[in-house]
Amino acid sequence: MYKEYYKLEKNPFQMTPDHRIFFASKGHKRALSYLQYGLSQGEGFIVITGDIGTGKTTIVKNLIAGLDHKTYIAKELVTTNLKDHDLMEMICESFELISKGLSKAALLNQFKAFLNSAHKLGRRVVLVVDEVQNLPPKTVEELRMLSNFQVDNKPLIQSFLVGQKEFIQTLQSDDMEQLRQRVIASCHLGPLKKEETKLYIQYRMKVAGWSGKELFDAHAMALIHELTEGVPRRINVFCDRILLFGYLEEIKFFNAEHITLVADELADEITSPIKIRRHEEVSSYFSEVQTTYAKNNTKNTSLQKNQLSDRTNNLVVSSESVMPLNTVGQKEIKVEMSSDFLDIEETIKDFESRVEKEIQAFKNTIDKNF
């Protein structure tokens, strides 16, 4: 719907992983380098882990797409909770071998014959096992056994294990010692940092055909990062809704208020991609207030959070901006510092007389958050 409005050639924030849209953040480049290093070694296991939605599958697809298919026979296997026999069936099926009706021994012999044939033809066999955290330890051990198929002390197959961070616990268990010794490199993929989130959004828009000026102001970008916590999949879903909102409201440039409105719409959805603030979390906006206060009033460094309204040192807070801080759609508190810090009592009295009710609400919210 919004592609025509923003003059885009395709959806910039599609959910399906596409190796042609690969944003090389620092973490993603590192992970891809490990995969390429593993290929150059021709042996051992490479392990890539990461949180949900951080782009592990995209990295794998990018690697496979870049291989010379005259040299490599590479297949990707997405696993579930499989027994060892079921795993061998899936591996044989992925390499287009007979997979049904054979015993485990027959499956292994068939696969070994396939590996030997590939070796004689000068081909290297690569197996990428995605969602490896779903496999029981005994089944993971079966993958290690495949690396025992060798010719002249060189493995006939190389495996890449890709999964969520739960797999780290599996790998660190006592019965995984032999597999750990064969891991030549491992990497954990985390979320994007604040600046990377901005670059990621700009990159996706450019690839989709955006040729206009900046679409989001700095505050909007910062809020998108905060609410999605820098997870690429969440960013995709959230930004897709933002652009849909922009199309419906005819918005060509987004500020933080627009982002907040979309966040409010998503807040109650079960599948919402954005972060929901918890009561025990300290609002980033309140943190900014504390920082500003501390820098401008060194005499009162012992300020307690439950005494904020009594020790403001002439912090002027707009009465329209004081709202509960535990909601996604909160407004930013506007802070100004007076040039006169001498008459504290008079300042506090004037402050409380103007926004007494709002200050009390503000105190109650702070008490809940600490």
> What's the structural domain count of the chain?
3
Domain assignment of residue 273, yes or no: no
Q: Which residue has the higher pLDDT, 95 or 21?
A: 95
Residue 316 shares a structural domain with residue 340: yes
Confidence class of residue 129 from pLDDT cuts 50, 70 and 90? Answer: very high
Domain assignment of residue 274, yes or no: no
User: What's the mean pLDDT in 233-250?
Assistant: 95
Last residue of a domain, one of 161, 189, 217: 189
- Distance, CA of 255 to CA of 250 (rounded, Å): 14
Q: Shortest CA distance to 50 belongs to which of 42, 38, 63, 59?
A: 59
Q: Which letter, b or e, does each residue of 13-47 get, where b requires 16 or more Cβ atoms within 10 Å of its Cβ?
A: beeebeeebbbebebbeebbebbeebbeeeeebbb
Residue 31 shares a structural domain with residue 6: no
Confidence class of residue 306 from pLDDT cuts 50, 70 and 90? Answer: very low
Cβ atoms of residues 340 and 299 within 8 Å: no
Residue 209 shares a structural domain with residue 118: no
CATH number at residue 201: 1.10.8
- Distance, CA of 73 to CA of 118 (rounded, Å): 8
- Distance, CA of 166 to CA of 143 (rounded, Å): 18
- Distance, CA of 114 to CA of 91 (rounded, Å): 12
Question: How distant is the alpha carbon of residue 159 from its chain centre?
Answer: 24
Residue 45 shares a structural domain with residue 99: yes
Residue 45 shares a structural domain with residue 115: yes
Q: For residue 230, what are the contacts with CB-CB under 8 A and spacing of at least 6?
A: 191, 192, 193, 194, 196, 197
Last residue of a domain, one of 267, 292, 319: 267
Domain assignment of residue 57, yes or no: yes
pLDDT digits (tens, 9 = 90+) for 173-188: 988 999 999 999 888 9
Q: In this model, does residue 48 exceed pLDDT 50? A: yes
pLDDT digits (tens, 9 = 90+) for 84-98: 788 999 999 999 999
Domain assignment of residue 21, yes or no: no
Residue 176 shares a structural domain with residue 300: no
Residue 67 shares a structural domain with residue 176: yes
Domain assignment of residue 18, yes or no: no
Q: What pLDDT does residue 253 have?
A: 96
Residue 33 shares a structural domain with residue 149: yes
Q: Is the pTM of this model over 0.85?
A: no
Last residue of a domain, one of 151, 167, 189: 189
Residue 297 shares a structural domain with residue 357: yes
Q: What pLDDT does residue 364 have?
A: 62
Residue 291 shares a structural domain with residue 160: no
- Rounded to the nearest integer, the mean pLDDT of the chain is 79
Domain assignment of residue 279, yes or no: no
Cβ atoms of residues 320 and 313 within 8 Å: no
Domain assignment of residue 17, yes or no: no
User: What's the mean pLDDT in 141-163?
Assistant: 91
- Among 80-89, 154-163, 248-257, 288-297, which stretch is predicted with the lowest mean pLDDT? 288-297
User: What's the mean pLDDT in 281-299?
Assistant: 43
Q: In this model, does residue 45 exceed pLDDT 60? A: yes
Residue 39 shares a structural domain with residue 136: yes
User: What's the mean pLDDT in 79-87?
Assistant: 82
User: What's the mean pLDDT in 52-77?
Assistant: 89
Q: What pLDDT does residue 356 have?
A: 61
CATH number at residue 154: 3.40.50.300
Query: Which residues form the domain of 155?
Result: 26-189
Query: Count H helices, E strands: the chain?
Result: 14, 9
Residue 175 shares a structural domain with residue 308: no
| Helices assigned H by DSSP within 279-343 | 284-296
Cβ atoms of residues 255 and 343 within 8 Å: no
Axis-axis angle for helices 218-228, 256-267 (nearest 10)? 30
Q: Shortest CA distance to 277 belongs to which of 206, 226, 312, 320?
A: 226
Q: In this model, does residue 256 exceed pLDDT 90? A: yes
Domain assignment of residue 16, yes or no: no
Question: How distant is the alpha carbon of residue 265 from its chain centre?
Answer: 22
- Distance, CA of 164 to CA of 182 (rounded, Å): 20
User: What's the mean pLDDT in 288-303?
Assistant: 43
